[in-house]
Homo-oligomer: A and B are copies of this chain.
Amino acid sequence: MTTSAPIRFRVLSLNCWGIRYLSKNCKERFVLIGDLLNQEQLDIALLQEVWCEKDFLFLKKKLSSIYPYSHYFKSGFIGSGLAVFSRHQFHDAFLYRYSLNGYPYMAQHGDWFGGKAVGKVLLNINGLKIHVFVTHLHAEYCREKDSYLPHRVVQAWELQQFIRHTSAAADVVILGGDLNMHPDDLGTRLLRNYTGLQDSFSEAANFDGCEEGHTHISENPFTNTDNLVPFGGGIRIDYILFKGSGEVDVSCESLSTTKGPVPGHPFPYSDHEALTAEFLFTPTTKGNRCSERQSVNEARTEVKVGLHCAERMRHTAARTGIMGLVLLVLELAIAAVPLFALGAEQPFPKASFYLLGALCFAILLSTLLLYIFYSMEVKALQGTEDQMRLALSKSLVTYSILTVTAVHLVDIRTSSVFENEI
């Protein structure tokens, strides 16, 4: 760290909803997003759901004079959708793909194919090491019956681990993205408590934007309003989080969101609102620590619930596979009988024989693939649970009283699902 003068730093985060041929007004919106970024005079823009590389390249060209540095994070089948545009040079880039991210056969949700991840770029501004993270977690399709909750909790856990482990040398940490979690949701608390990151919405000295900082609002013509009715017409699921270090004090001077339609156009930039935060980095000697490890107990319960489901699904896949195998053996046995009783008539019509054979084969193949997939899910969930247990055992010494209380609280919920399990 070589600077001592305060530095102003402007960050934008936007989920661009860039699904070519499916998202409405996709091409026009990317033109408008490019214009917005050029107007906003940012230091860095963190974009999500730039699913098509052509759209990234379009933005790269359009923004090249103001933002000469850019990075597109590639992952999974379609991509991670994460793109970063910066006025400052990147000194490094690193990607961590979450170990769980939905199911390949839920093609209508599509998350699995995206290879969701957290991307990191390193900036060095006047000697300040600024670690900037961008991410997009698994979508929430039904809040009441959210089968993806364990996956999102694992993602939030891995996100906090990745940020914590990779930002030890950082003077400033910034995280922007679509977390697909409300401010008080388990994953958000887990992330904030473990990393000590602060929420620019609650810390900003000035705020200008949608009511309560909502980034997904019912006024948005691209939004399915039914999902938002229980929340009074809007939810906050996009965030810019930040923290300083022992050597740099970070304050959030202002936060703003876009508010619906782009001025002079009938539609907004995306189905999400964009967030823009302005920070002030002031070299200091004040420390910045925050540690509340309670939420990990709750998270562990969610992961265990997911583990329970995944094990059950794997069991079902195995059972169905065995049934397919038995059916195949039975068919072959029936077909083989006339071969031994030489000269007898074949009682099995050939067409049915092949059709049934193909069916058995299809069952076997699909259950095998499902079995493999669920086994990987079980492994990833178990791995996260192990790490959470370790985190708990570590904090047990310091927070023994706190933890005992928490374990009791969690036990009330856990006991109904996991009998005889510690």
Contacts and interface: CB of A to CB of B under 8 A. Distances in A.
A394 interface: yes
Interface string A362-398: 1001000000100110011011001100110010000
Interface stretch (A91-99, A184-192, A295-303): A91-99
Contacts of A361: 358, 362
A99 B386 CA distance: 22
Interface stretch (A23-31, A57-65, A161-169): A161-169
Nearest to A369: B369
Nearest to A91: B394
Contact of A358 (B79, B92, B354, B376): B354
Contacts of A390: 71, 90, 92-93
B94 A97 contact: no
Contact of A168 (B99, B168, B351, B355): B168
Protomer copies: 2
Contacts of A79: 379
A57 B354 CA distance: 47
Given A354-B354, A394-B92, A386 B74 contact: yes
Interface in A108-140: 113, 115, 120
Given A351-B351, A354-B355, A92 B386 contact: no
Contacts of A167: 168
A93 B379 contact: no
Interface residues of A, number: 51
A341 B270 CA distance: 53
Interface in A326-354: 349-351, 353-354
A375 B169 contact: no
A380 B89 CA distance: 23
Contacts of A362: 361
Contacts of A97: 97, 99
A97 B383 CA distance: 12
B165 A75 contact: no
A75 B379 contact: yes
A394 B94 contact: no
A76 interface: yes
A72 interface: yes
B94 A165 contact: yes
Given A93-B390, A166-B168, A365-B365, 7 more contacts: A76-B376, A90-B390, A92-B390, A94-B387, A95-B387, A120-B165, A351-B351
| 9 closest residue pairs by CB, A with B | A168-B169, A74-B383, A350-B351, A358-B358, A165-B166, A354-B354, A74-B379, A168-B168, A74-B382
6 contacts: A71-B386, A75-B379, A79-B379, A89-B394, A165-B166, A365-B365
